[in-house]
Amino acid sequence: MMASDSVRLAAYIDGELDLAGELEIEQRLAADPGLRAQAQALRELRSVLREDADYHAVPAALGPRVAALTAALTGALTGALTAASAAPSPATPPRRVRWSWQPLWTAPSALAALAVVVLAVTLVGPRLAAQDRLVEYVVASHVRSTLGEHLVDVVSSDRHTVKPWLAAKLDFSPPVHALPLPGSVLLGARVDYLDGRPVAALVYRQGAHVVNSFVWPGPAADRSPSFATQRGFQLAHWTQGGMTHWVISDLNREEFAALVQAQVVADSAP
């Protein structure tokens, strides 16, 4: 693999490629066992860094200090910009202006506030962008599956057929259940790619609507479902039993919420 390919693979694992780049890498992963092995090694490294890194609680007094430092930086920058924008009057002959940034950059409060702002953008911005990209990929995968001929790889409404099939194709065994909801039918499953790794895609039909339920290993702590709407689709995501769940369909909001609740209940059953 060339150096540029290694960079693109790392960007794919971190969710930093656009949709076209993501699909290109997924096609190469499907055809190249060596590339899949490299991708898995990168995922394991990322997992170790996420799970084993030290985390420290933010001191309660930090919030007011950050606000005060940010205000100081804002005032310093405003003063500098005001001075820079002051132009000589047309009747005044041009004169040389000597610039000095020393008062701004030698102020410890301004430097500290700038560091806080940069740190916040560096740490929080990529996480929000990665979440937005994941939403786009979930929607794109759902649309591709419903418009094409690749809705399921294994056709069965029997969880005892679907679950072993997925376990043999993936490096984890996802929960598979028929949903305790009138009109819901398990159509089967397929292997898909999301969040830089292969995932299980359970496919249901709820009345006349197709439902894609994506599952892959996630944080150990459970988190209740969060709901969103994107491009006319209802989405929900949560963590449960060490698994990340993303569900998408074009059901209306009430029916979709009932379906998500049914899945949470089914996955809680022994």
pLDDT in tens, 160-211: 999 999 999 999 999 999 998 999 999 999 999 887 889 999 999 999 999 9
Confidence band of 108 (pLDDT split at 50, 70, 90)? low
Residues 150, 201 contacting (CB under 8 angstroms): no
Tens digit of each residue's pLDDT (9 = 90 or more) over 14-46 = 777 777 788 888 888 888 888 888 888 888 777
CA angle 181, 226, 206 (to 5 degrees): 25
Residue 219 tokens, joined: 């944080």
Residue 142 tokens, joined: 């759902």
pTM of the model: 0.56
Tell me how far apart the alpha carbons of residues 254 and 107 are, in angstroms, rounded to a whole number.
55
